Amino acid sequence: MTAKILDGAALAQELRAEFKLRAEALAAQGARPGLAVILVGEDPASQVYVRNKVNACAQAGFHSEKIVLPADATAEALLAKIAALNADPAIHGILVQLPLHKHIDADAVLEAISPEKDVDGFHAENIGALTQGNPRFIPCTPHGVMKLLEKGEVSLQGKEAVIIGRSNIVGKPMALLLLAAGATVTICHSKTADLGFHTRRADILVAAIGKPRFVSGDMIKPGAVVIDVGINRVPEGQPDAGKLCGDVDFASAKEVASAITPVPGGVGPMTIAMLLANTLLAAERVAARQG
């Protein structure tokens, strides 16, 4: 069997074209959607992510602001910036690029973002709303995965979904969304005993681990749908060293799965598309309130 490719790059492009039209309609009412992205320090991967997000905004006709603070910026300086953006009517979405340096309390920073502008969906109030099944903003990466599954016409009701990874950004919200869609959900993590036992009974397997090519074909149930969230560099000494790869060993997995997301070109572009979706939603809500 060679798996069908769930093409995140193509779907993201389709969605972004639609978002551009919606942004133009808002701009015509004087309410152009605006996103502020805050980067603290000069982590190279974070710089790439921030650049991609800002470029995506420009292409979709959004207003965007990139705010770069030095690596040794204080928590107070960051919180003051967030307070100013919370009060800025041109900004509908605020995103602080993670991870933050250890000297800053990331939870306190995320809680300082107005829940109405929390387009990453990481504020405790928004996580609570998601948990209750009434989300204000759905976190971008798991939201992108759900859109890919929908586009691929993957049925979820009554299916066994297994997620590897329990982070607040990916694993946990992913579990909530799959649960809401009627799947029976298992979350595995670094302390799980016999990971393969769980993965081999998954109809839908989501890998969000951060370990290159960790999930091999023999860990996958024949015919499963495999979603690879990982973004890693291929380690030295392996073929394609230095290139991007996922948490799934694509070569062996595609021979077993019925459908699979590639890396790059799978979940990554969908994450950015969903960031635009949330920013647009925030702007549309403000415009609707203002009549």
Instruction: Write out the residues near ligand NAD by the rule CB under 6 A.
Output: 141, 164-167, 169-171, 188-190, 192, 195, 208-211, 229-232, 267-268, 271
- Residue 22, number of CB atoms within 10 A of its CB: 18
Among residues 7, 81, 97, 228, which one is catalytic?
A: 97
Please say which residue, 86 or 168, places its beta carbon nearer to ligand NAD. 168
The DSSP string of 225-257 is EEEE---EEPPTTSTTTTSEE-SB-HHHHTTT-
Q: Is 53 a catalytic residue?
A: yes
On the question of a cis peptide bond just before residue 239, with omega within 30 degrees of 0, the verdict is no
Amino acid at 46: S
Please say which residue, 195 or 287, places its beta carbon nearer to ligand NAD. 195
206: which strand partners? 163, 227
Among residues 118, 120, 203, 249, which one is catalytic?
A: 120
Phi and psi at residue 191, to the nearest 5°: -100, 0
Three-class SS state of 125: helix
Nearest approach, Cβ of residue 270 and ligand NAD (Å): 7
Nearest approach, Cβ of residue 32 and ligand NAD (Å): 25
Please say which residue, 135 or 165, places its beta carbon nearer to ligand NAD. 165
Q: Is 105 a catalytic residue?
A: no
Q: What is the DSSP letter of 219?
A: G
Nearest approach, Cβ of residue 97 and ligand NAD (Å): 11
Nearest approach, Cβ of residue 137 and ligand NAD (Å): 15
Centroid of chain to Cα 14: 17
The DSSP string of 17-61 is HHHHHHHHHHHHTT---EEEEEEES--HHHHHHHHHHHHHHHHTT
Q: Is 59 a catalytic residue?
A: no
The answer to whether the beta carbons of residues 169 and 141 sit under 8 Å apart is yes
Nearest approach, Cβ of residue 56 and ligand NAD (Å): 12
Active site residues: 53, 97, 120
